[in-house]
Amino acid sequence: MQVYDWRHITEEHGPRVWQIAYRLLGNHSDAADCFQETFLAALEISRRQPVRNLRGMLVRLATTRAIDRLRQRSRQERYQALAQEARRESGSGNDPADHAQTGELSGRLREAIAQLPAQEAKAFCLRYFSEMSYRQIAKELDIKTSAAGVLLHRAKARLRERLTPEAVPIDEVKR
């Protein structure tokens, strides 16, 4: 059984894990939770089996945990939006701050990433938030390099579709 120096591991890899979590989640509270969950999961894995690539495992765990947290946040935000809409329809509460917050691009991007299929979301985050090459992504996800390219292409197409404002029909512009 291999023994790990977790203090040293946290000092060495902690900044990278924090960067991934914070870049994806955008706030300290969620990033801190993700950071802690990542190292706890790594500890559990290391107790069950030897780890060949500790940095890679931590990057993958951080990315997965952050995406899971984004999905959870997205579900909560949708629920809150529905509740707010129901309140508006009943004649109470129309908070402009809430409306402005939901319109921010970063929030929309996070929500769109949370709606991607898991492998596409991981590939996108590894490429654009962790700045990994296609080859590194393929190694991290245990797929071929060409498959990493396909995942990225699909993720970008879906994100573009979700984030591009819908065109207003010409008939409506003339009215």
**Sites in the chain below the pLDDT cut of 70:** 1, 79, 81-105, 166-175
Question: pLDDT of 152-171, one tens digit each?
Answer: 999 999 988 888 775 444 44
pLDDT of residue 106: 72
pLDDT of residue 146: 93
Q: Give me the amino acid identity at 84.
A: Q
pLDDT of residue 98: 52
pLDDT of residue 59: 94
**Residue-range domains of the chain with CATH:** 1-114 (no CATH), 116-175 (1.10.10.10)
- The whole-model pTM stands at 0.55
pLDDT of residue 89: 56
Residue 71: half-sphere exposure toward Cβ, Cα within 13 Å:
13
pLDDT of residue 39: 95
Q: Give me the amino acid identity at 156.
A: K
State how far the alpha carbon of 25 is from the alpha carbons of 7, 47, 49, 70, 123, in Å. 25, 28, 29, 7, 16
